[in-house]
Chains A and B, each alone.
Chain A
Amino acid sequence: MRNRRTLVGALVLIALVLITLDFRQTGGPVGSAQQAADGVFAPIQNGFAAITRPIGNFFGSILEVGTLRSRVDALETDNQLLRLDLQVQADLERRLAEAEGLLNMAEQQQVQLVGARVIASPPGSFERQIVLDVGAAQGVAPEMAVINERGVVGLVVEVTGTRARVNLLSSTEGRLSVRVAESGDRGTLVGQGSGLLQLTMIDSDPQVPLDATIVTQVFQGSLVPSGLPVGVLETPPDGDPQGERFLEVRPFVDFSALSTVAVVVAGREDSEEFGEGELIAPQLVDPPTVDIGPDQDEPTIPGVDLPGTSPSPDPSGTPTATASPTDGQ
């Protein structure tokens, strides 16, 4: 019994010394001993693990058979949910990019937009209309332009309280007044069902630069603001479109992938600007008439109070003219 107490006392003392040494310093003799022991034990451990791992996995699998099915079910459910989340996230990211593009477009063009989602696309291969989830309640009206972040998508043709039907630019029924951004030459754009749009220039001998950008052209009564990007002139095979009256335009918009668009409900305030080369027709004002009263020495001019003065006739003898903007078409 006494030997045992001595043994226990000695071992406890050794343990306490080891604890103290290990607790007070990192490394040192205890750390070295740990490293040495680990160096010897690790290879043995690896070898033993290589032998026993298959056994452990086998028995572990047997023990887990009961729970494996539920785990598989749970993992499959999680997997489906994650896939759904991924799809939703991808869709949200795409819509966010489109919305940011639309905002940039609105900022650049200084137009007022009403955001819309395409809720119905053409069911067939030949229909060129889409339906939007906005309508008269949001201020949408027929003939308004619909754009996405790239350019003009089409024109609104029908509006209900909460829905709007849009004729795509590619539609053969739609016509859009456009101009060449660089030169200002004007023309009319018509869809051809798919692919390129047909551009008929008003000028029979237009000076159209290569790869010119085509933008919308404002005209009186139109709800489409000027300057919205439409497409780029497709370079003809001979490489020079100059002098050609009938040209083709590749639209900026991909009509097959429309999801987020915007209706231009108001253009910029200076949308009455004129394009280069646009005609300004003078509007003549009626010349003043002179009433000859009883006293021919005191002529009067209606609307002009010139008491005691005599009218001074225009030495040139021509009437006064005032220019005003008119329909450019």
Chain B
Amino acid sequence: MPIRVVVFAGLILVALLLKTTLLPTFAFLSFRPDVLIVMVVAVALVEGADMGIKLGFAAGLAQDLISGQAALVGLGALVVMGAGYAAGRMKPYIAASERTGSIALCGALSGAGTLVAGLLGLMFGVIEPSLPRVLLATVVVGLYSALVSPLVLRPTRWLVKQFPPPSLASS
């Protein structure tokens, strides 16, 4: 159990580091792919909705905490948790075409997460962009996340499978 916590914490840390340091270099129209949601989706597609919920909440909360005054703590936790939950619930439906389905799901949930975060941010008055900017971000982040998701999905899945839950590991 502790080793899994360390692994998932490491995944969150790496995703946040990539999102805040490396990916701004590759920004398109000043938008970056949401590798945090893609990572959570990848884990949820392996371990199910419960793990998606927990990891999503933890990842979103971590993102909120390192965002300073720019974010409302708890908002990102709700959004990423929702993405993790949705990914876990969608897992049976993409089994037929897992690779394409995973990429599409990463794109859709990243876009949806951006949309929800943007709308909630507008509602609470914690972000400056207008609604058209939020909609543009939804489309760009969704497509961009889908594009880079293979680079995140494969190593994340591999890593998670190396550290299965105790119940599966013992069986």
Residues of chain A at the chain B interface (Cβ within 8 Å): 3-4, 7-8, 11-12, 14-19, 21-23, 26, 30, 33-34, 37-38, 41, 44-45, 48-49, 52-53, 55-57, 59-60, 63
Instruction: Return chain A residues, CB-CB under 8 Å to B93.
Output: none
Is B21 a contact partner of A19 (Cβ separation < 8 A)?
Answer: no
Who on chain B is nearest to A42 by CB? B66
Beyond A16-B74, A18-B77, A59-B26, whether A52 also contacts B21 by CB under 8 A is: yes
B78 contacts across to A, CB distance below 8 A: 12, 15-16, 19
Across-interface contacts of A41 in B (CB, < 8 A): 16, 65-66
Closest A residue to B78 by beta carbon equals A15
Q: Report the Cα distance A148→B72, complex, angstroms.
A: 68
Min C-beta distance of A2 to chain B, whole Å: 12
Q: Is B144 an interface residue (CB 8 A)?
A: no
Contact of A8 among B22, B26, B85 (CB under 8 A): B85
Q: Is the CB of A4 within 8 A of B22?
A: no
A18 and B74 within 8 A (CB): yes
**B50–A7 contact, CB under 8 A?**
yes
Chain A hits for B62, CB < 8 A: 37
Smallest Cβ-Cβ distance to A58: which chain B residue: B25
Q: How far is the CB of A30 from chain B (nearest CB, A)?
A: 5
User: In the complex, are the beta carbons of B53 and A8 less than 8 A apart?
Assistant: yes
Q: List 29 A-B contacts (CB under 8 A).
A: A4-B49, A11-B57, A11-B81, A14-B57, A15-B57, A15-B61, A15-B75, A15-B77, A16-B74, A17-B74, A18-B73, A18-B77, A19-B73, A22-B72, A22-B74, A23-B72, A23-B124, A30-B73, A34-B66, A34-B67, A34-B68, A44-B17, A45-B17, A48-B21, A49-B21, A53-B25, A55-B22, A56-B22, A57-B25
Interface of A is mostly: helix
Chain B residues 57-97 with CB under 8 Å of chain A are 57, 61-62, 64-69, 72-75, 77-78, 81, 85
In the complex, how many residue pairs between chain A and chain B have their CB atoms under 8 Å apart?
Answer: 93
Q: Which 3 A-B pairs have the closest CB atoms?
A: A18-B74, A37-B65, A56-B25
Task: Say yes or no: A38 contacts B26, CB within 8 Å.
Answer: no
Contacts of B77 in A (CB 8 A): 11, 14-15, 18
Query: Other than the known A8-B85, A41-B65, what 16 A-B pairs have Cβ atoms closer than 8 Å?
Result: A3-B50, A4-B53, A7-B53, A8-B53, A12-B81, A14-B57, A14-B74, A21-B73, A23-B72, A37-B65, A38-B66, A44-B13, A56-B25, A59-B25, A59-B26, A60-B26
For chain B, the bracket of interface size reads 20 to 34
Partner of A56, one of B26, B61, B67, B72: B26
CB contacts (< 8 Å) of A53 on chain B: these are 21-22, 25
CB-nearest residue of chain A to B13:
A44
Q: Which residue of A is nearest B25, CB measured?
A: A56
Contact (Cβ within 8 A) A52 B22 = yes
B157 at the interface (CB under 8 A from A): no
Which of A15, A19, A34, A37 makes the CB contact (< 8 A) with B81?
Answer: A15
**B61 CB contacts on chain A under 8 angstroms:** 15, 18
Q: How far is B69's CA from A57's CA once the two chains are assembled, in angstroms? A: 28
| Residues of the A chain whose Cβ atoms lie less than 8 Å from the Cβ of B64 | 18, 34
Residues in B with CB closer than 8 Å to A12 are: 78, 81
Interchain CA distance A26-B69 in the complex, whole Å: 9
Asked if A19 meets B50 with Cβ closer than 8 Å, knowing A45-B21, A60-B25, the reply is no
In whole angstroms, how far apart are the Cα atoms of A63 and B64 in the complex? 31
Give B63 Cβ to nearest chain A Cβ, in Å.
10
Any A CB within 8 A of the CB of B100: no
Central interface residue in A3, A15, A22, A37, by most chain B CB within 10 Å? A15
The distance from the CB of B136 to the nearest CB of chain A, in whole angstroms, is 20
Residue in A closest to B88 when the chains form the complex, CB atoms: A4
Residues of chain B within 8 A (CB-CB) of A44 are: 13, 17
> Looking across the interface, which residue of chain B has its beta carbon closest to that of A56?
B25
Partner of B26, one of A16, A18, A63: A63
Residues of B within 8 A of A17 (CB): 74
A292 to chain B, nearest CB (A): 114
Contacts of B54 on A, CB cut-off 8 Å?
Answer: 7, 11
List of B residues within 8 angstroms of A16 by Cβ:
74, 78
Asked if B162 is an interface residue, CB under 8 A from chain A, the answer is no
Given A45-B21, A56-B22, A59-B25: A33 and B53 interface contact (C-beta under 8 Å): no
Name A48's closest neighbour in chain B (CB-CB).
B17
In the assembled complex, the CB of B89 is this many whole angstroms from the nearest CB of chain A, namely 10
- With a cutoff of 8 Å between Cβ atoms, the chain A residues found around residue B26 in the complex are 56, 59-60, 63
How close is A67's CB to chain B, nearest CB, in angstroms? 12
Q: Smallest CB–CB gap between A282 and chain B, Å?
A: 91
Residues of chain B within 8 A (CB-CB) of A21 are 73
